Amino acid sequence: MGVVSPGFHRRRRESAVQLPPGQYLTEDFPVLSAGPTPRIPMEEWELTVTTETGRQHRWTWRELLDLPFETPRVDIHCVTKWSKLGTDWQGVSLDVLLAGVDTAADFALVSSYGGYTTNLPLEDLLDGQAWIAYRYDGEELEPEHGGPVRLLVPHLYFWKSAKWLQGIDLLTENEPGFWESAGYHDYGDPWREQRYQGD
pLDDT above 90 covers a percentage of the chain that reads 81
CA angle 19, 116, 170 (to 5 degrees): 90
The average pLDDT across 98-102 equals: 94
Residue, of 27 and 107, whose pLDDT is higher: 107
pLDDT tens digit string along 184-195? 999 999 999 999
For position 16, what pLDDT does the model report? Answer: 65
- pLDDT for residue 10 is more than 60: no
* CA atoms within a 13 Å half-sphere pointing along the CA-CB vector of 87: 25
Domain 44-192 falls under CATH 3.40.50.1000? no
Residue ranges per structural domain of the chain = 44-192
Q: How far is 48 from 58, CA to CA, in rounded Å?
A: 5
Q: Report CA-CA distances (Å) from 22 to 11, 51, 82, 87, 157.
A: 20, 37, 9, 20, 12
Provide CB contacts within 8 A for 125, sequence distance 6+.
94, 98, 108, 153
